[in-house]
Amino acid sequence: MPRVTSSTPGSPPLCGLRSDHLPQALLLSQALNWPYRLQDWQSALDLGEGLAVVCGGRVCGTALWWHWGEEFATCGMIIVDAGSQRMGLGRSLMDELLRRTDGRSVMLRSTEAGLRLYERLGFTPFGHVSQHQAVVRAASAVSAVRAASPVRPLSATDAGAIRRLDRLASGLDRTRLLDALLATGKYLVTDRGGEVSGYAAARRWGRGIVVGPVVASEPEEARALIAAALADHQGEFVRIDVTESSGLGAWLESVGLPRVNTVTSMVRGTLPSMSSQVTLYGLSCQSIG
């Protein structure tokens, strides 16, 4: 029997999100025009944990979170059905999510609609992430960037370097995420002096291809990795979510990936300690980070 948890008095109880809930969870995200596929929901749940609110046999709310070690977590895919709002379900989901993250610092990306709730729960802004997407039309605009910083596919001996760079850039042990991306997509890397100095992942997700995470030692290297990924997916719909501090927005616009929205990065607690040697320029997705 699924574990039932407390919720706001008078509202439906919460339970653990299960795979058999996901077809209805997909309907919730489709109602918001979020591009998740059923397999994207399943992949997210496989990497972490989730909660569901079931109203009269129908899933009417969800929230997922992902633990990265003992100190940090990220959360996302927090949805309440339009017909079930103003019942305190969003607050109930978040209260239980925060209880289950066991005192970890929690990070999320918030739309404008969620800001007030998260602020009331003690989250504070620390930046912004912009979503860029379009069908990739031509490789000519990115060829010079690729030549400036040569990029190659991941080799069998590079996995450890990818994990090390990602931990430096994110401050988190995200081995589970990196291994999952390797199983479902492709990595590109840059070398400096025979050592891997940056990487980008690309995989099928949502409407097409998502490029991210992107980790590099400098903006030129990040642009080269992204350019190589774009060249691999000519004629396909490509999305990338980059941090505002990356400075890549104008360049992405110039190569045909316009910005379509911006969300606010927020944290409840302390941010992880990130190295100055490498930077996380692009996210795997807005929810997971």
For the segment 145-189, what is each residue's pLDDT rounded down to a tens digit?
555 568 999 998 999 999 999 999 999 999 999 999 999 999 999
In 3D, which of 272, 252, 82, 81 has the Cα closest to residue 174?
272
Q: Is pTM, for the whole model, over 0.85?
A: yes
Give the C-alpha separation, 70 to 205, whole Å.
29
Predicted pLDDT at 5: 53
Helices 159-170, 175-184: inter-axial angle, 10-degree rounding: 130
Determine the average pLDDT of the residues in 64-78.
97
Domain positions in the chain are 4-103, 130-282
- What are residue 41's DSSP bridge partners? none
DSSP 33: T
Q: Which CATH number fits domain 130-282: 3.40.630.90, 2.60.40.10, 3.40.50.10140, 3.30.420.270?
A: 3.40.630.90
Tell whether omega for the bond before 213 is within 30 degrees of 0, i.e. cis.
yes
Q: Provide the pairing of β-strand 124-135 with 105-110.
A: unpaired
Phi then psi dihedrals of residue 205, to 5 deg: -165, 140
The continuous run of DSSP H or E covering 169 comes out as helix 159-170
Check whether 2 has a pLDDT greater than 70. Answer: no
So what's the pLDDT on residue 82?
Answer: 83
Segment 260-270 shows an average pLDDT of 98
Min mean pLDDT across 50-59, 79-88, 211-220, 278-287 is at 79-88
User: What integer pLDDT is reported at residue 102 of this predicted model?
Assistant: 85
In sequence order, what are the residues at sequence separation of 6 or more whose Cβ sits closer than 8 angstroms to the Cβ of residue 38?
22, 23, 26
CATH superfamily membership of 4-103: Gcn5-related N-acetyltransferase (GNAT) (3.40.630.30)
